[in-house]
Structure formats: structure tokens, C-alpha cells
A and B are shown apart, each in its own frame.
Chain A
Amino acid sequence: AQSVTQLGSHVSVSEGALVLLRCNYSSSVPPYLFWYVQYPNQGLQLLLKYTTGATLVKGINGFEAEFKKSETSFHLTKPSAHMSDAAEYFCAVSLGMEYGNKLVFGAGTILRVKS
């Protein structure tokens, strides 16, 4: 079975500061890893994903994440926070089609950006 742990249910940063949202996973087989963002009253939008290959992946809106197998982590970063980044962020893991492609989500981290 797979699981995802997001450290910190709430993270607060100043505008222009580094954003770091932490995600650790457990998986019995090599996972596919995702970060989704949810703005209030909206659905989930993909920020970025790791499937195979380069372990540093870049996504939309200046976000990136690095897959570290030895640490079972997939932390999300952005060098400079913008007010529009305020949202809830979900890390998710999938084991692929053999397991129905289901996504298992973490509990989410609400990002607050202070002016």
C-alpha cells in the first residue's frame, strides 16, 4: 500500500520569500508522484509530476520539485512567493495502471502568502 505525508498543514511565507512544501511517501514499488493545487471552490489542478527520468521536475507558475528516492521525498519549492500562490497544495502518489492508476493524496498544505 502507498501513503503520503505532508509535513505542516499550514505554511505562511512573505511575498518574495522561498516556498517549501514537504512531502514524503511510502510505496512498495517505484511510484509516480504529483503535486496538485486547489484554489477555493475549484477543482484540483496539476502543478507538476514525476514519472521517470530527471529527478528535478519543473511545473507551472515557477514551481519545481525534486524526487529523492533515498529520502522518499518529493518536496515542492518556489524561489519567490507571489500573492496568487495562496491556495491548498496536495502531494499524491500513484503506482500505475496495475493498481488502477489511483492517486493517494496527502492531507494537504494550506499556503498563506503575506504582503
Chain B
Amino acid sequence: EPEVTQTPSHQVTQMGQEVILRCVPISNHLYFYWYRQILGQKVEFLVSFYNNEISEKSEIFDDQFSVERPDGSNFTLKIRSTKLEDSAMYFCASSRPPSGGTQYFGPGTRLTVL
């Protein structure tokens, strides 16, 4: 069964450093998403991406964040200058149209900012 994969599973970085989280969505999916879950809190939407552009983003997704689909298979989330409060589990997801299509989640990347 196809699945969403994410690398790395754990990332430790120093405050102010740039990190790139990588995801390989399910191959015939067209919508891609990033969510995060701070320890003990709810899962929060960051951004959705369709047709090579952002289709929706939350207020969390400020100028420090960017997404890219560099090569037709990977989907990346970049955080330019990490802050302590960026420490969280980051989940990638993908889905097919139409509306209400099931989003399939990856196992997550745990980001720790020191």
C-alpha cells in the first residue's frame, strides 16, 4: 500500500539555523500539506500546496517558512531561522481531489531546536 514518507525522523538544530524537512507524498496525489504538533497540543495546519503553488496557509506560516516541490516527487518544508518555539512534530500529508479527499499522513519528523 502506498504511503507518505518523511526524512529525517528526528532533527536537532541550534536556534537560528535553517532546516529542511523532506517528504515524499503518494505518487498520484496532487494536494500536499504540512501540519505540526507541539508536544501536548493539537495538530495545527501550516500550509497546503496544489499545482505548484500555495493554496492556503495559516497565520503560523510566516516568512520564516517556505515550501517547495523541487523535483516532482519530493515536497519540502524549510524553516529559515529556527526558534525554540518551532520545536514540534511536523507531519506531511497528501491527498487526491476532490474536496474531502482523505489526507494520508507521514510518520512525522520530530524537530528539536536548542
State whether these chains interact.
yes
Using CB atoms and an 8 Å cutoff, list the residues of chain A in contact with chain B: 32, 34, 36, 42-46, 49, 51-52, 90, 92, 94, 96-108
Beyond contacts A45-B105, A94-B100, A105-B45: 17 other A-B pairs, Cβ-Cβ < 8 A, are A32-B99, A34-B102, A36-B105, A43-B105, A44-B91, A44-B93, A46-B102, A49-B100, A51-B100, A90-B43, A96-B98, A97-B99, A101-B48, A101-B55, A101-B103, A103-B35, A108-B43
Given contacts A43-B91, A51-B100, contact A103 B107 (CB under 8 A): no
Residues of A near B55 (CB, < 8 A) are: 97, 100-101
Q: Report whether A106 and B42 are in contact in the complex, using a CB–CB cutoff of 8 Å.
A: yes
Q: Report whether B102 and A98 are in contact in the complex, using a CB–CB cutoff of 8 Å.
A: no
Given contacts A42-B107, A43-B108, A108-B42, contact A102 B56 (CB under 8 A): yes
Instruction: Compute how far the CA of A92 lies from the CA of B44 in the bound complex, rounded to whole angstroms.
Output: 11
Q: Report whether B100 and A32 are in contact in the complex, using a CB–CB cutoff of 8 Å.
A: yes
Using CB atoms and an 8 Å cutoff, list the residues of chain B in contact with chain A: 4, 31, 33, 35, 41-45, 48, 50, 55-58, 91, 93, 95, 97-108
Q: Report whether B105 and A44 are in contact in the complex, using a CB–CB cutoff of 8 Å.
A: yes
Chain A min CB distance to B24 (Å)? 14
Q: Report whether A105 and B43 are in contact in the complex, using a CB–CB cutoff of 8 Å.
A: yes
Instruction: Compute how far the CA of A97 lies from the CA of B99 in the bound complex, rounded to whole angstroms.
Output: 5
27 contacts between A and B (CB under 8 A): A43-B105, A44-B43, A46-B103, A46-B104, A49-B100, A90-B43, A94-B99, A96-B98, A96-B99, A97-B50, A97-B99, A99-B56, A100-B48, A100-B57, A101-B48, A101-B101, A101-B103, A102-B33, A102-B48, A102-B56, A102-B58, A103-B33, A103-B45, A103-B103, A104-B45, A105-B43, A107-B42
- Cβ-closest chain A residue relative to B3: A43
Chain B min CB distance to A103 (Å)? 6
Instruction: Compute how far the CA of A99 lies from the CA of B99 in the bound complex, rounded to whole angstroms.
Output: 9
Residues of A near B58 (CB, < 8 A) are: 102
